[in-house]
Structure 1
């Protein structure tokens, strides 16, 4: 079956967005200044089990997808691609950074962390703009919003507080970059979405209601 030019563009944007997302994860992890909220949990599990980071990401994604069943969420092509692409590429990106920058100094660690935050925001906008399905963790959030009736900000915050505290207790790295990510990635996504996901913004503001917002994978 031949794909239309529009479908090809969306598929390419999805793939590039997911690759960029995996690289942004690797940049923040290699910086060692604190990972994204879910990556604090992933890192904690890695340190307790010794499993490869990508394997832990995939396993966590599958468990989250199982939680979709009672929440009556439906995966899309982008949902499956999220699990496969990020899980398969984050470890190679980490290995590449280990070879390219084996022992970064403090200044370079800051640069790597900030670059990871910016890249993550752009990659998220690209992923969202493909409109091919939410990531596992986004589906969990929107499903809980729909079932509980609580605002997105409360549900999102509650989920991320739980995963950060759990990950930190398991030995994951929580640091200034985790806080900077929480505060900074939203504005970056908003700016990048004007070009990569224009349907989601109107005059710089979200064009959809909060309960329909799809955020990071």
Structure 2
């Protein structure tokens, strides 16, 4: 839920979205669907790419697909569009920090990666190479596709790109459930 709320906050800041949401926004504009619906459908489609990668979803994976878009649309329904930069900047910063916390919580819970993260780890396991390079390639591909579809990239996109790694690492320290030999990580 927190991840979807963070996505809604960044959307309402209207200062640039994370790469996947630039893609989701661009698709939503062309399909006439809410951005949350596009998030859900995209998550389900990305799961199909897991099949040849032999990735196995967990309960967290399925929850990610079903909850993120609903939480984002719910946040957008409750939080009206903002025009004052003095409101939009804190929305962006709060959204990015909340996204880092949500990342730490969902990865740290060890219930399975989200579809997009599983795509990255599956590609890494299947083709080898640098995890950072694979992640960067995926993020750049969806960002470019999203911009070409009319999604909004901006200072928030750059801020997210620079902050999410350190924030996720910080929150993972506090949110990771110790590995007790459970099968599904």
Q: TM-score, length-normalised on structure 1? A: 0.80
> Could you tell me how far 1:199 is from its partner in structure 2?
4.3
Q: 1:178 aligned to 157, 164, 179, which one?
A: 157
Q: 2:169 aligned to 190, 196, 211, which one?
A: 190
What does residue range 49-128 of structure 1 map to in structure 2 within 5 Å?
A: 49-98=31-80, 102-128=81-107
**Aligned equivalent of 1:30:** 12
Report the aligned-residue RMSD: 1.4
Q: CA separation in 1, counterparts of 2:123 and 2:141?
A: 14
Q: CA separation in 1, counterparts of 2:47 and 2:60?
A: 13
Q: CA separation in 2, counterparts of 1:120 and 1:34?
A: 14
Q: Which has the higher contact order (CA 8 A, sep 6+)?
A: 2
> Could you tell me how far 1:87 is from its partner in structure 2?
2.3
> Could you tell me how far 1:150 is from its partner in structure 2?
1.2
Aligned length: 180
C-alpha contact (below 8 Å) 2:82/2:88 kept by paired residues:
no
**Aligned equivalent of 2:27:** 45
Structure 1: runs of 5+ lacking an equivalent: 1-18, 201-213
Q: CA separation in 2, counterparts of 1:125 and 1:135?
A: 12
**Aligned equivalent of 1:144:** 123
> Could you tell me how far 1:93 is from its partner in structure 2?
0.6
**Aligned equivalent of 1:10:** none
> Could you tell me how far 1:50 is from its partner in structure 2?
1.2
Q: CA separation in 1, counterparts of 2:125 and 2:174?
A: 29
Structure with higher Rg: it is 1
Q: CA separation in 2, counterparts of 1:198 and 1:68?
A: 25
**Aligned equivalent of 1:9:** none
Q: TM-score, length-normalised on structure 2? A: 0.93
3-state secondary structure, aligned to 1:174: coil
**Aligned equivalent of 2:147:** 168
Structure 2: runs of 5+ lacking an equivalent: 180-184
3-state secondary structure, aligned to 1:33: coil
> Could you tell me how far 1:198 is from its partner in structure 2?
6.1
C-alpha contact (below 8 Å) 2:15/2:154 kept by paired residues:
yes
